[in-house]
Amino acid sequence: MDWGMENRLARLIQSDGHCMFLPVDHGYFQGPTSRLENPGETIKPLVSMADGLFVTRGVLRACVDSRNSPPVILRVSGGTSIIGKDLSHESLITSIREAIRLNVAAVGMSIFVGSEYEYDSLVNLGKLVDECEDYGIPVMAVTAVGKELEKRDARYLGLSSRIAAEFGAKVVKTYWCENFEKVTTGCPVPVVMAGGPKCETEREVFQFVYDGMQKGAIGINLGRNIWQNKYPVAMMKALRAIVHKKATVQDAQDVLETERAKAK
């Protein structure tokens, strides 16, 4: 691997081999998502604890301090909205020139395996990887499911993740699922877990993150389960303990309670 590519990946994946990315890209198809109406305010107390920020160029320029930012993973796919016909009909919406101008550590795009636009999203991933390889920029592929959350099982996510890796993604972001080891063992590049809609309890979040880490994930890219929580800093610290400090579910729960008590 070339120095630039290696250096960018090392900025994102820490020396323990793990990473905790903070995604705030949801507005690119959902608009002003709950608790992300003002992304700058949402991320202010959290950025110092994030190993990477997953964000569009619009929010990056408008809401993120260029002098005080974690490494950026720039979302470069889009073109659909939550009220539109089909969330899978995405294209590449941001150029590599722009990614370089913004000094990003990686770019990210969604693929929609099994959807009507499977072909387009996969060919776009191939093109993006081709261009990014020229400049040493890693691509994170997101195995998106659109509105079909029930697709999140090991067979589907394993298939999507493997295809993303075959197309040259350096990191795959997918959902946690039962038998998650089937996803990670079939995917020859590092896998990070997204969270999906907010869980009922924090313990549920700690349980799936812990399970996924035991089963081969290198980290998380968790948004709503952090910043839609009433105590996002406490959530961030508790999850960091699982990702970077080998904490158990109960350890994370203890961190959450201690930090929540401090914040009250």
Please state the closest distance from residue 229 (CB atom) to ligand 5RP, in A.
Answer: 11
CB 92 within 8 A of CB 134: no
The CB-of-69 to ligand 5RP minimum distance in angstroms stands at 17
Q: How many residues make contact with ligand 5RP (CB under 6 A)?
A: 13
- 8 A C-beta contact, residue 73 and residue 54: yes
Which residue's CB is nearer to ligand 5RP, number 54 or number 117?
Answer: 54
Query: Least distance (Å) from ligand 5RP to the CB of residue 194?
Result: 4
- The 3-state secondary structure of the chain reads CCHHHHHHHHHHCCCCCCEEEEECCCHHHHCCCCCCCCHHHHHCCCHHHCCEEEECHHHHHHHCCCCCCCCEEEECEECCCCCCCCCCCCEECCCHHHHHHCCCCEEEEEECCCCCCHHHHHHHHHHHHHHHHHHCCCEEEEECCCCCHHHCCHHHHHHHHHHHHHCCCCEEEEECCCCCHHHHHCCCCCEEEECCCCCCCHHHHHHHHHHHHHCCCCEEECCHHHHCCCCHHHHHHHHHHHHHHCCCHHHHHHHHHHHHHHHC
Binding mask 10-49 for ligand 5RP (x = CB under 6 A): -------------x-xx-----------------------
Residues 177 to 196 in contact with ligand 5RP, rule: CB under 6 A: 194-196
**Smallest distance from the beta carbon of 161 to ligand 5RP, in angstroms?**
14
The single residue of 170, 173, 182, 237 carrying the catalytic annotation is 173
- What is the Cα–Cα distance from 89 to 159, expressed in whole angstroms? 20
Could you confirm whether 182 is annotated as catalytic?
no
- Min CB(74)–ligand 5RP separation in Å: 12
Question: What's the rounded Cα separation, in Å, for the pair 202 and 138?
Answer: 32
Site string for ligand 5RP, 102-131 (x = CB under 6 A): ------------------------------
CB of 222 to ligand 5RP, least distance (A): 4
CB 176 within 8 A of CB 206: no
Here's the x/- map for ligand 5RP, 76-105, by CB under 6 A: it reads as: ------------------------------
Asked if 54 interacts with ligand 5RP (CB under 6 A), we say yes
| x/- letters, 193..232, toward ligand 5RP (CB under 6 A) | -xxx------------------------xxxxx-------
Of 42 and 221, which CB lies nearer to ligand 5RP in the complex structure?
Answer: 221
Q: Which residues are catalytic?
A: 173
Which residues bind to ligand 5RP, rule: CB under 6 A? 23, 25-26, 54, 142, 194-196, 221-225
